Chain A
Amino acid sequence: MLDLTPKKITERTALRINPCKTCQPVGAMYAALGVHKCMPHSHGSQGCASFHRMYLSRHFKEPAVASTSSFTEGASVFGGGSNVKTAVKNVFDIYDPDIIAIHTTCLSETIGDDLNSYIMDMDIPEGKLVVHTNTPSYVGSHINGFFNMMCGFINYLTKKSGTPNGKTAIFPGFVNPGDMRELKRLATLMNVPFTMFPDTSGVMDAPMTGRFEMYPDGGTTVPEIAGLGDCGEILALGSITSIEPAELMKKKFKVPYTLLPLPIGVEATDRYIMELSRISKAEVPRELEEQRGQLIDILLDSNQYTHRKTVAIYGDPDTVVGLTALCLEMGMLPKYVITGTPKEEFTREVRALLERYGETDAVVKANTDLFELHQLIKNEPVDLLLGGSYGKAIAKAENIPLVRAGFPVLDRYVHSYLPLVGYTGMIRMVEHITNTLMDRQDADCADEDLEVVM
């Protein structure tokens, strides 16, 4: 069952098998959902919007609302101008968002629709806003879509009034709402006033209230996005995901940025906290010192079960970089580290990390797929898989335990509510990883070796 993958690795240049990425628009849709009272709008065929909403719904177990231009044959010949104009009018009339965030698709990009001029020609109701970004599906991955949508918001909305607002902008990267909550908690504890952009907490992890809120309470507000230009600086988390919007902010508004890895693992979390401390001059509070101490204690306790265990890590580039650091800190041996996103910075960052730990044998690859990962594992197996749900087939076929982390996780619950980042996130991951390895030991060991105390 599920074991059709040949062991022999043949070179493929044209055929992608079992992708480890998806297309830009879904990333753009997710970013737009992190803006308060925003309707993400897909300028393409209606299938695109439907697929992205389904994908997001399956990961977050939440409604993901977005509208579509519903391209027809005619639109694809004469351009989608009239479709998007009708769409914007209808969306404001019926769904009444504050802002519509349009992203393009492979179709509208290929026929050359010029959203700038379409938006200029639109009758936009007083007090309402329409922004757009270009997200050609044939460039990059959903990660590009995410940062392109951020750039779209910044280009349309952000201003520099000249009066500093005393805030730090935090770009969280492509992470779950649970991560965004933890990043905000840390910033608050470190006494740093901030704007997080985008912020899907309160939107994609909204509580059950007995009503369907098309626009839940969460999300970065339009005035907050406008005010990004008056922020003192930017903490751009996830160097691959956040560099472009950070560069844009620097170029347009002279707001300096510090590029940090996603705060996954002890060291990356330390760095995030030290940066926050640099900004606010605040001492690290006892609460955080205590939590960090607990984490180290846990690492010591569990170390013997994780040390030198081999792991294959796959998923989105910044998340995988973070998870690689986390595994190394746990004494594990990342053997295969891959992403589907075509970004060579990824391999450089992962290699640099591995080298610091003296690990140089790992296979590190961007722009590859889960089929190749499976083939690698068939040739030399690992003790653990770490990544999204689509690794499930490999786990089953090779009888390797899988710990789910990253995007997408379609077959488990609660993951999006809780963080990977911060000391909290690492404590959570240490529990998951160690318990998974120990469950495996219990299940596999001979009866006489079964131990109650471990």
Chain B
Amino acid sequence: MVRRQSILEERKKSIIDKASFCRGDGSGISCGKSSVSGAVSQRACMFSGARVVLNPITDAYHIIHGPIGCASYTWDIRGSLTSGSDTFRTSYSTDLRETDVIFGGEKKLEAAIDELVAQESAKLIFVYGTCIVGVIGDDIDAVCRRAEEKHGIRVIPVKASGFSGTKSQGYKLACDAIMQLVEPYKNIPKVKGINILGDFNLAGEMWIIKSYMKKLGIPVVSTVTGDASCESLLRMPSAQLNIVQCAGSSTYLATRMEEELGIPFIKVSFFGAEDTTNSLIRIAQALGDEAAVRKAVAFTTEEAEAAEAFLQAYRPKFEGKKAAIYVGGGFKAISLIKQFNEMGIETVVVGTQTGKEEDYEIIEHLVNENTVILDDANPSELEEFMLEKGANILVGGVKERPLAYKLGIAFCDHNHERKHALAGFEGIRNFTREVNLSINSPVWEYCR
């Protein structure tokens, strides 16, 4: 039995232990809500959600309008790679001070945009309103509008006061900003090809996916937002199909594009052999491109066989090992469970920060009876369930790494700090090697 006393009453609705508790009344998991006050939440805020989605646009200037912290903490935080400009890796902020808070920050924002434009040849600026900007009532819409007229460039407001929603709602703001950017290009003629949504080119993953598209003979019109540029984003409305990799952040954008631009979308995942194979074939099918389907089948069969041969050598090293997953979105968690299955590792704890109800339903069907499922878990819950279920490795993000190590549990970063590309067939090899290196590190000999 779980040490139930250490779980907040309000939190019980956000935890499913199929074997023993919290559910059974058919009500489903409670998710997508703000964290409970007093929780040691692993989650960030609305601003963070918007910021991480827009950050990878390589030639965009991101001005954080607020006190310096929000700019400092999000300066170059994603390992998004670029094949073009690296403007996005520079941090811009209005660094609001007390007098700005008292007298309003609009003038300072206006001056900051002017100073930026005077210095750089900016085509696209995103202006993020942070918590206090929402409270002191700066009209950043008006400032951005005036700046667009004055400088003849795009200046798009992202009103992302942290308190006004969850990280997922921040993703939506980012999607709205992208739609605002492409608005004047809505009616450009369609061309053959797809947009890749919800991949951020961490460790160059977008390039792997693009290389697959090339093999299948499917042109890529634009990527959103990994390795995207202002120019490539403007081509976005001309695509025939959107494929959505990170569903949590980009389904909303895909839905808007379907409704407003008539571009259908499919959700895909390139984590693990099963999902990569299915995704490639489904993309070709969705385009009605028989040649591409044949190529996809041939390519994935070959690659999946090679991956299987690779995995076979590793499976003995993973025998009896158990995994815990704690990631941002539900779709990634689903892929990871499958991928661990392919590796011969059982998933015993699975949680997400922003998973949706339908994600949790799929997760429930994928895992064994005694697996624990959590929404917005905190460190003590993760500790408790990982130890109880005997997890050997945790897959998570930056805040979970030291936690895992303190518990003597191996770790693999599947978030901003991933060290190698984890997508596609290359990703299977990288992920497997990384999990093996961590699980079978000699350091564990000294811990036990």
Contact = CB atoms under 8 A, between A and B. Distances in A.
Nearest to A209: B406
A276 B71 CA distance: 41
B380 A214 contact: yes
A64 B71 CA distance: 20
Interface in B155-176: 161-165, 167
Contacts of A214: 379-380
Contact of A19 (B38, B75, B136, B406): B75
A286 B257 CA distance: 76
B329 to A, nearest CB: 16
Contact of B40 (A26, A58, A62, A67): A67
Interface string B398-412: 110111011110000
Interface string B216-253: 00000000000000000000000000000000000000
B68 A212 contact: no
Interface residues of B, number: 81
Contacts of B36: 70, 86, 90
Contact of B119 (A6, A83, A86, A210): A6
A121 to B, nearest CB: 15
B365 interface: no
A251 interface: no
Given A4-B90, A15-B112, A212-B383, A50 B407 contact: no
The contact size tier of chain A is: 35 or more
B94 A49 contact: no
B116 interface: yes
A16 B37 contact: no
A50 B43 contact: yes
B254 interface: no
A23 B379 contact: no
Given A13-B111, A210-B448, A107 B68 contact: no
Contact of B163 (A76, A138, A371): A76
Given A46-B41, A72-B34, A110-B132, A93 B405 contact: no
**Best-buried of A16, A53, A110 by chain B (most CB within 10 Å):** A16
Given A15-B116, A137-B69, A210-B447, A70 B34 contact: yes
Contacts of A13: 111, 115
A2 B89 contact: yes
Nearest to A111: B135
B46 interface: yes
A46 B43 contact: yes
Contact of A107 (B91, B132, B165, B380): B132
A22 B69 CA distance: 5
Contact of B96 (A84, A138, A209): A138
A139 interface: yes
B190 interface: no
Given A54-B398, A86-B38, A212 B101 contact: no
A84 B380 CA distance: 20
Interface in B1-34: 6-8, 34
Interface string A149-162: 00000000000000
Contacts of B115: 10, 12-15
Given A10-B115, A15-B92, A62 B46 contact: no
A3 to B, nearest CB: 9
B62 to A, nearest CB: 11
Interface in A1-36: 1-2, 4, 6, 10, 12-19, 21-26
Contacts of B126: none
**Best-buried of A63, A64, A214 by chain B (most CB within 10 Å):** A63
Contacts of A48: 45, 69, 162
Contacts of B165: 73
B92 A16 contact: yes
A112 to B, nearest CB: 10
B103 interface: no
B95 interface: yes
B407 A47 contact: no
A22 B75 CA distance: 11
Contact of A26 (B42, B69, B108, B136): B69
Contacts of B7: 94
A107 B131 contact: yes
A14 B109 contact: yes
A432 interface: no
A72 B111 contact: no
B72 interface: yes
A117 B199 CA distance: 47
B163 A50 contact: no
B48 A57 contact: no
B264 interface: no
Contact of A138 (B98, B111, B118, B405): B98
Contacts of A91: 38
Contacts, number: 254
A71 interface: yes
B279 interface: no
B134 interface: yes
Interface string B353-390: 00000000000000000000000000110010000000
Nearest to A342: B97
Contacts of A53: 399
B163 A75 contact: yes
A356 interface: no
Contact of B68 (A4, A22, A46): A22
A87 B135 CA distance: 22
**Best-buried of A41, A105, A138 by chain B (most CB within 10 Å):** A138
Contacts of B63: 15
Interface in B289-330: none
A46 B44 CA distance: 6
A88 interface: yes
B131 A50 contact: no
A370 to B, nearest CB: 9
A21 B90 contact: no
A25 B402 contact: no
Contact of A47 (B45, B71, B89): B45
Contacts of B35: 46, 68, 70
A94 to B, nearest CB: 5
Interface string A182-223: 000000000000000000000000101111111000000000
A94 B41 contact: no
A211 B39 CA distance: 20
Interface of A: 1-2, 4, 6, 10, 12-19, 21-26, 41, 44-55, 57-58, 61-73, 75-76, 83-84, 86-91, 93-95, 105-107, 110-111, 136-139, 141, 206, 208-214, 340, 371, 390, 393
22 contacts: A19-B71, A19-B75, A45-B46, A45-B162, A46-B35, A46-B43, A48-B69, A50-B42, A53-B399, A55-B72, A63-B402, A63-B403, A69-B38, A73-B163, A73-B164, A86-B38, A90-B38, A94-B38, A94-B380, A106-B67, A107-B162, A214-B379
- Interchain residue pairs A-B with the least CB separation, the first 3: A47-B45, A23-B69, A90-B38
Given A46-B34, A47-B162, A94-B38, 13 more contacts: A13-B111, A14-B108, A14-B110, A15-B115, A41-B38, A50-B44, A51-B70, A107-B135, A138-B67, A208-B406, A208-B447, A212-B380, A390-B75
Interface of B: 6-8, 34-48, 63, 66-75, 85-87, 89-98, 100-101, 108-112, 114-116, 118-120, 130-132, 134-136, 161-165, 167, 379-380, 383, 398-399, 401-403, 405-408, 447-448
